[in-house]
Amino acid sequence: GPDFPTRGEILGQEGIEEAYKSGKAKITLRGRVSVTTLKEKERLIINELPYQVNKAKLVELIAELAQNNRIKGIKNLRDESDKGGLRVVIELSRGTVPQIVLNQLYQYTPLQITFGIILLAVVEGKPRLLNLREAIRFFLDHRKEVVTRRSAFLLRGEKKKAHILEGLKRALGAIDKVIEIIKSAVSPEEAKKGLTKLLHLSDVQAQAILDMRLQRLTGLERKRIDEDYRSSVAKIKELEELLASEDKIWSTIKQELLQIKEKYHEPRRTLIKKREKPLILRPEDLIIKEDIVITVTSQGYIKYTPLKAYRRQARGGKGASGIALTQMDGVDSLILAHTHSTLLFFTNTGRIYWAMAYDIPEKRRSAKGRAIVNFLHLGEEERVQTVFALDKFEDERFLLMATRKGVVKKTSLTAYSRPQKGGIIGIRLKEEDELVKVLLTSGEQDIMLCTKKGRAILFSENGVRPTQRASRGVKGISLALNDEVAAAEVAERGQALFTITRRGLGKRTLFSKYRKTKRGGKGVINIRLISEEGEVAGMKKVKNTDEIMVITRNGRSVRIHARGVPRIGRNTIGSRIVRLDEDDQVVSIG
C-alpha cells in the first residue's frame, strides 16, 4: 500500500485492495496517537500526522473545539515539537475516557482524513485509469523499451569506439611509416589520404590518427589502447546477445530494479492497521459515558446534569439550588442514568417515545433546560409522565405499567425495542385515567403500588398475565374516593421502601412489614398522614448504601444517604427529610 513521508496509519486494507482492482478508491489515514499516564493523569500524545495535514492549524482547531465543549475532557493542550520530531500533548481531565476523546478527535479534526488513490497514466498519448496489474504491465513494457533503446544506443557507441581503436592499433603497428606520411604531407587532407591508402582505414579512423596526441605513442598508452579495444569488443558482444534475447532483457530489468531497491530501500513509515470494527463511528463512540441526572419539569422542559454536580448532604439539610423554575412550573421526573442510556418516554396518554440520553441538552444544575417538544413529537395535551433508562432490550424482562386509576399491565420488553419517530401506544387507557409509573421486571417479582392517601398494596406480578403492547391491563388496587396511585415499585427481600410526603416527612420500611395479597385489593396503610402534611409525593426502594435525590417544586434539591433516613414501621408518620419553605413541596425523588 501507499507509504507517506509523514508516517501515520492506514485503516484497513479494503481501500487499498479496491484501488488496485479498479484503479480508484479512498483510504482512511490517521495520525498516530499514544495514551500515556503521568501522575495519575492520562494524556494523548500525537506523534504523527496524516499526509498534508498542517500541525499548527490542527492544534488551533483542537483548542477551539475544546473551548466550545464540542470535545469534552481536554484540560490542557500544548505543542512540544522540536528538531527531534512531532509531539502534541493533550492532557485530559480526571475521569475522562481517552478513547472517547480520541474518537472525537478523529471525527471532528483532520487527525483522520480520507485520501484518494487514482492510478491515472498516459497510455499511447491518452489518459487512462489502470488497475494494479495493468499499471505493472505498462511499467514493465516501458522498462523493456527503455532497456532495449538504451542497449541499442550503447551498442552503436561501442562499435564506433572499437572502430577507432582498431585504426589506432593499425597505426601503432606501422608507426614509422605513419610519421613519415604525416611529415611529408602538404596538408591534413593529403596526410589522411596517405594513411587511408597505407593502412586501409576509413575517414573516421584516419582522422582519429591525425588527432592522436604524441604521448599515446608510449608503451603504456599502446597497452591501454589494446585493453580498451578488447573491452569494447567484449561489450559489443554482450550488447548484441542482450538485444537478441528477450530473457536477457527481462533479467537486466530485474537486476536494475533490485539495485534501485538496495539503494533507496527504507523501513516502511506508514503502518497498515487491521480494522477491528466498522470505521463509521456510532454517536455513542463520540460521547463520554458518565453518570447523569435527567430532569423533566411539569411544563415540559428537560435537561441533564452530571451527577457529580450534586453535593451530598445529611438528612434535614435545606439543599442547594437545583433548577431555575417559574412559579407555574415544577420538577415532574428525575432519572439517574448515563449518557449512553436509551431513554423511553412514557406520556400521560399511554404513548411511548424514544431518545438517547446524549441527545438531551446538558445544562448547569440551576438551568431550566429546553422544551421537550424539540426532541419528541408529542400530541396536544400530551406530556411526559415517566422516563425510563435502558442499556439493552431483553426477552426475559418485562415492563409493568401502573395507571392513576389503579390499573396495571405487563408486556415483554422486546415489544418496545423498535423506536418509531411518532411514538407508539404503550397502554390503552380509559377516560380520565393516566399512566403513572413503569417498572422493569423479571416477570415473577413482587410489585407494590402506593397511593397519594397513604395506602399500599403488595402483590406478585405472576397474577398479571402478559399482554400485547396496546392492551388495557387489569386492576391492580381498589382505590378509595378521591384517591389515586402516586407511585409503584418492585419489592425485593432485604430492601426497604422509602416514602416521602409533599411536606418533606419520610421514612424507610422493610418490604417484609407489608402483607402480600392478591392484586385488586384495597391494600394496607403505608404511611400515616396528618392533614397538614398533605399527600404522598413518591416512594422508592432503597438499600443502606443507596443515595436518594429529593427535588422540590421550587427547584431545591437534596442528596442524602438512605441509611440516614429512619427505618420504622409502616403505620407511622416519619421524620423530617427536607425543610421546605411555606410555598414549597416535594414533587419528585430519584
Rounded Cα gap, residues 542 and 561, in angstroms: 10
Same domain (yes/no): 235, 139: yes
DSSP assignment string, 240-261? HHHHH-HHHHHHHHHHHHHHHH
Domain hosting 411: range is: 289-589
Residue 10 near residue 27, CB atoms below 8 Å: yes
What is the per-residue pLDDT for 308?
76
In this prediction, residue 316 carries a pLDDT of: 52
Same domain, 401 and 462: yes
Say how far apart CA 67 and CA 44 lie, in whole Å. 17
Give the CATH number for residue 149. 1.10.268.10
Domain co-membership, 114 together with 137: no
Same domain, 91 and 165: no
Under 8 Å between Cβ of 67 and 60: no
Q: Are residues 347 and 483 in the same domain?
A: yes
* 162-185 as b/e: b if 16+ CB within 10 A: bbbbbbbbbbbeeeeebeebbeeb
294 with 304, same domain: the answer is: yes
Residue 364's pLDDT is: 67
**Overall domain count for the chain:** 3
Same domain, 325 and 195: no
Instruction: List average pLDDT for each run of 10 residues in the chain, which is 590 residues long.
Output: 90 90 92 86 92 94 89 90 92 82 90 93 92 94 95 94 88 83 85 85 86 70 86 94 94 94 90 69 71 78 79 51 48 76 85 83 69 75 78 84 94 82 85 87 91 93 89 92 90 90 91 92 90 79 85 82 90 88 83
At 401, which CATH number? 2.120.10.90
Residue 250 lies in a domain: no
Q: What is the pTM of this model?
A: 0.53
- Note whether 376 and 345 are within 8 A (CB): yes
Question: Do 417 and 553 belong to one domain?
Answer: yes
Q: Are 90 and 136 within one domain?
A: no
Q: Which residues pair with 354 in a beta bridge?
A: 344
